Structure 1
Amino acid sequence: MADKQREEGRLVRSLQWVERIGNYLPHPFWLFVILAGVVIALSAVLEALGVGAQNPADGEQIDVQSLLTPDGFQQMITDAVQNFVEFPPLGLIITVMLGVAVAEGSGLISAAIRVIVARVSARWLTFTIALAGVTGSVASDAIYVILIPLAAAAFKAVGRSAVLGAIVAFGAASAGYNASLLITATDPLLAGISTAGAQLIDEDYVVSPVANYFFSMASSVVLALIVTLVAETVLVRISDRFRAAEDAEGGAATAVLTAGRDIDADTDDAALLHYSATEVRGLLWSLLALAGFLAVYFCLLLIPGSPMEGEGGNALESPLLADIALPIALAFLVVGITYGLVTGTITKFQDVPEMMGRSIKELAPIIVIFFAAAQFIAYFSWSNIGSVLAINGADLLEQADLPVIVLFAGVVLLVAGFNFFITSGSAQWTLMAPVLVPMLMILGIDPEVTQMLFRMGDSPTNIISPMSPYFALVLGYLQRYYPRAGIGTLLSMTLPIAIALLVGWFLFFMLWYALGIPLGPGVPVR
């Protein structure tokens, strides 16, 4: 026991510097404001030094343009609103979340997770929770407060460690956040940011919200398998020492499972797993509604002569795929309304817009960040710093002649390192995309591939970053079952998952890349 405690102590000390450095970082809003100011000052310095580069595509000379001029300041004022309104992720994320809000507010997502977890056999429980966690990113951050206490209760109900159940749920939901069986709000969000980065090189380039869907869907199963393997071979040994200390009376971990339910702080574990016949009926009707919606969608997409037919009869050019944010939102809206009408969580027309309104309130912090991020991206583009940096960086990489596996691994590790300090995926990608996307485009690597590399580096390290707000949340859950749990306890169980997913996911991508399987509809991987 003493040796294990010393090991935890060393692990905690090794990550304390991460927490200290991270605490010095400002809120993402101020981070982008500061970076916008740096771009303004740097543009003047670089122009004075005559810094520029030759565009390898057309041979045109691109020079850094100073923003520290009367014209520059006027443009900052006159285009500020336009920069914000036309920021690609803004409309996409709001549109999708309007539909997701109804599915979540009606209780559909919560009920679906409870029914799946409660009805699965003990033999498949770990994998089921892991897959639910990975796919649960469709519920955005709500998945943490829905699934973690539910998984702990489910493990306890079958005589296993509740701590292990909570860790499996947290590891899958957080470290596997960027993969899913379903389209999630993350897909259009990242695609919009990638589009902004790609347009620094090609102003007509658009990254589709489903650009990574094929790989993301397959990854969700692979990541769930990896989490299951780590849990059943490594973590189960660590959790064995918690079993004696897990107090049966202290295991009532409550959560935001309140959509359409009456849950309070005194709710016991068994109640968390409860579901009613009405909820099951609602889920069945929702599945029928989804099937009907998909039937109509694919008829409009594929039948010749359809009003949604793509140019030249090409389904990949159809607006149903090119602008898929609205169909995604409508799908969630249809199943959410169906579930709400059947279960009674939606009783009047007013309930639907009220649910949508609540989702907009939850998006308020992101929208605030987007305003500053949009100005930063615009200044970066106007100054040509991004283009010059991308061209010169691409030249260096080309001269280095790195094997593609080394180049890709470097990008993934760079993202993983940044993720320790900037835990907001959208903020981090907004910061990195204007450099990484155009730089790799010049080397012949499509933005969709770069975006997938970002996703692989971003989420696996979420579970070991002390800067993550959910790090403390999960520690609180663990202490309900194991009062002596500390940061070292949590890290000792999350670090194996983080390493396994980072390595395993990258190797799976390289296999996918070698086989040349498309990343998404009409998106070749090479």
Structure 2
Amino acid sequence: MSAENQQKNEHLGPENQQRGWFTRFLDTVEWLGNLLPHPVTLFAMFAGIVILASGIAGYFNVSVLDPRPGSEGQEIFVNSLMSGDGLRWMVSSLVKNFTGFPPLGVVLVAILGVGIAERSGLLEAMMRGMVMNASPRMVTVTVVFAGVVSNTASELGYVVLIPLAALIFHSLGRHPLAGLAAAFAGVSAGYSANLFIGTVDPLLAGFTTIAAQIIDPEYNVGPEMNWYFMFVSTFLIAVLGAFVTEKIVEPKLGKYNPDDMDPHADIEHDVSMDKLTPLERKGLVFAGLSFVALLGILALTVVPEWGVLRNQETGGVAGSPFLNGIVVFIFITFGIPGFVYGFVTKTMRNDRDVIDAMAASMSSMGLYIVLVFFAAQFVAFFAWTNFGTIMAVNGANFLQAINLTGPAVFVLFILMCAFVNLMLGSASAQWAVTAPIFVPMLMLVGYAPELIQAAYRIGDSVTNIITPMMSYFGLILAVAARYQKNLGIGTLISIMLPYSLIFLVGWVALFYVFVFVLGLPVGPGAATYYSLPVQ
């Protein structure tokens, strides 16, 4: 254990000091996470490893039998990037790998609309109105629910909702750390759940599409393909989060002692406790009306059989311009109500204010764009060398050999994703690494990419709140320390651990019942099972 962590644990009290195994586990997670380089460097290293490994595998003619129907007896060999063909391909494809990377464009377009809604104050007003108008009996479930919904603009949830929830609980005579924990659980452990399709959906769908095309070059996964399951998950997380807060966390914390508060903390000035002003309420009403009007116009293009955004060949919604262009509607349904709210509340008056909001949202994406450049190269290299196919075939053969091809395979997959998330907290970084391996592998044993992605999102979410590697963990720790001086990492994680465990069990159970008992699709037009195409 490091000297710093030892010093922190001296302030945790006898009960917490007895958790020797838990403290050692947390130290191990932190140590392993700190060994990892920056995600950008990580992808650059992975790309270099693929180049080197492909040269070695190509020299030894590593191959597998093609499992696709009609390809019996044919072998798939590793393509070496350390060859003339490989070098020519890398040089000619470097820019195309980046600009043609599916998650890049869709996320940037979506974030333009979200940026308008956030900069105008619409999202913050919605969040404040939801939480501060909740009755004392419903405040806990409302806080968790608001946290989940805030994932549309996740930074807002961390920066505004979590401090606000702690302050509201304190004002109600409840333990402020219980409010903080409830909000943190909703925002972070419920990260993938939401009532709306947000920026994370096209981001993950882009990686899933690339991975699925290793097996089926024509396969496409849309941003809406997990919406049904994530919509239902929102209510599950809200209920479970309220249960854990009121039945486990709050009783364990006990009655709050104001003497524990940091005397230097100026909590009242950290976040606004003011209720919505009449002007803000008016802005929300007009923004809501504009949103309903947009939905009405959109319905006219999709619901009637003559709808112009239906599939013109089949007449259905599946494969329609509406679903293929869902990111456009994310942009519109955030952008227009955001401007309407800003115009009414006078936070936005003209086109320049809208442009400034979109420019600000783009400027915050600089690191993401750099990350995407290197992630795109790694994914493209991995696919061109045939490493993805070879590893998927070998993995699928292993699963079939041990007879682990039923729904139980998803329990192990979710647990693996949850464990990896302890060290690699970025949803996009983790999925960029694991999707090219596990999506083709599970496709080969008969499951659709949309279903695999939904399972991944469970594992990627539930352990966010118990890893110091999560990017906002330091911020949450700082807010918590204002209410309990000398609070350490171990104490905060021990508070959040029940949420992580209960969410994991409950979410996996919902996944099994939703998909395998009720037979429901995880999203509009999403398949559950997959059959290999005949060559």
Same fold (TM over 0.5): yes
Partner residue, 1:392: 394
Match of 2:146 among 115, 132, 139: 132
User: 1:298, CA displacement in angstroms?
Assistant: 1.2
Match of 2:96 among 58, 78, 82: 82
Report 1:154-303 matches (<5 A): 154-240=168-254, 242-247=256-261, 252-253=266-267, 267=269, 271-303=272-304
| Post-superposition CA distance 1:360-386 (Å, at most 9, x none) | 111111110000000011111111111
Partner residue, 1:256: none
Partner residue, 1:257: none
Report 1:409-488 matches (<5 A): 409-488=411-490
Partner residue, 1:522: 525
Matching residue's letter, 2:30: E
Name the CA distance, whole Å, in 2 between partners of 1:183 and 1:249. 42
Name the CA distance, whole Å, in 2 between partners of 1:143 and 1:2. 31
Matching residue's letter, 1:86: G
SS in 2 for 1:53: strand
Contact 1:150 1:273 in 2 (8 A): no
Contact 1:516 1:524 in 2 (8 A): no
User: 1:54, CA displacement in angstroms?
Assistant: 1.9
Is residue 45 from structure 1 mapped to residue 46 from structure 2 by the alignment?
A: no
Contact 1:190 1:426 in 2 (8 A): yes
Match of 1:356 among 358, 369, 372: 358
Name the CA distance, whole Å, in 1 between partners of 2:124 and 2:432. 31
Task: Give the aligned CA root-mean-square deviation in angstroms.
Answer: 1.6
Partner residue, 2:380: 378
Name the CA distance, whole Å, in 2 between partners of 1:386 and 1:110. 43
Report 1:14-53 matches (<5 A): 14-53=25-64
User: 1:302, CA displacement in angstroms?
Assistant: 1.8
SS in 1 for 2:398: helix
Name the CA distance, whole Å, in 2 between partners of 1:237 and 1:119. 25
User: 1:304, CA displacement in angstroms?
Assistant: 2.5
Matching residue's letter, 1:27: H
Name the CA distance, whole Å, in 2 between partners of 1:248 and 1:413. 38
Contact 1:8 1:488 in 2 (8 A): no
Partner residue, 1:263: none
Is residue 146 from structure 1 mapped to residue 160 from structure 2 by the alignment?
A: yes
| Post-superposition CA distance 1:380-409 (Å, at most 9, x none) | 111111111111111111121115232111
| Post-superposition CA distance 1:241-289 (Å, at most 9, x none) | 5434344976644xxxxxxxxxxxx7266x4343211111111111111
Is residue 404 from structure 1 mapped to residue 406 from structure 2 by the alignment?
A: yes
| Post-superposition CA distance 1:49-82 (Å, at most 9, x none) | 2211122213242111111012212221221110
Partner residue, 2:338: 336
Contact 1:517 1:524 in 2 (8 A): no
| Post-superposition CA distance 1:401-426 (Å, at most 9, x none) | 11523211110011111111111110
Q: Give the 3 Å change call, closer, same or farther, for CA 245–4 of structure 1 in structure 2.
A: farther
Contact 1:242 1:482 in 2 (8 A): no
User: 1:297, CA displacement in angstroms?
Assistant: 0.7
Name the CA distance, whole Å, in 2 between partners of 1:221 and 1:377. 35
Name the CA distance, whole Å, in 2 between partners of 1:107 and 1:8. 44
Is residue 92 from structure 1 mapped to residue 94 from structure 2 by the alignment?
A: no
Name the CA distance, whole Å, in 2 between partners of 1:337 and 1:284. 13
Matching residue's letter, 1:303: P
| Post-superposition CA distance 1:486-514 (Å, at most 9, x none) | 11220111111111111110011001112
SS in 2 for 1:317: coil
Match of 2:504 among 487, 502, 505: 502
Name the CA distance, whole Å, in 1 between partners of 2:171 and 2:528. 44
SS in 2 for 1:459: helix
Structure 1: 5+ residue stretches without partners: 254-265
Name the CA distance, whole Å, in 2 between partners of 1:245 and 1:92. 50
Matching residue's letter, 1:34: M
Contact 1:316 1:322 in 2 (8 A): no
Contact 1:140 1:185 in 2 (8 A): no
Match of 2:121 among 107, 116, 127: 107
User: 1:35, CA displacement in angstroms?
Assistant: 0.7
Name the CA distance, whole Å, in 2 between partners of 1:276 and 1:251. 27
User: 1:9, CA displacement in angstroms?
Assistant: 5.3
Name the CA distance, whole Å, in 2 between partners of 1:274 and 1:364. 35
| Post-superposition CA distance 1:187-246 (Å, at most 9, x none) | 010001100100111111110100000000000100111111111111012221543434
Matching residue's letter, 1:6: Q
Partner residue, 2:514: 512
Moved more, 29-38 or 310-319: 310-319
Q: Give the 3 Å change call, closer, same or farther, for CA 355–227 of structure 1 in structure 2.
A: same
Contact 2:291 2:333 in 1 (8 A): yes
SS in 2 for 1:354: helix
Matching residue's letter, 1:312: T
Structure 2: 5+ residue stretches without partners: 1-11, 530-535
Matching residue's letter, 2:289: L
Matching residue's letter, 1:220: T
Name the CA distance, whole Å, in 1 between partners of 2:381 and 2:13. 55
Partner residue, 1:67: 81
Give the number of aligned pairs: 513
Contact 1:153 1:273 in 2 (8 A): no
Q: Give the 3 Å change call, closer, same or farther, for CA 199–235 of structure 1 in structure 2.
A: same
Contact 2:26 2:490 in 1 (8 A): no
Moved more, 156-165 or 284-293: 156-165
Contact 2:79 2:385 in 1 (8 A): yes
Name the CA distance, whole Å, in 1 between partners of 2:188 and 2:25. 22
Name the CA distance, whole Å, in 2 between partners of 1:7 and 1:300. 62
Contact 2:392 2:440 in 1 (8 A): yes
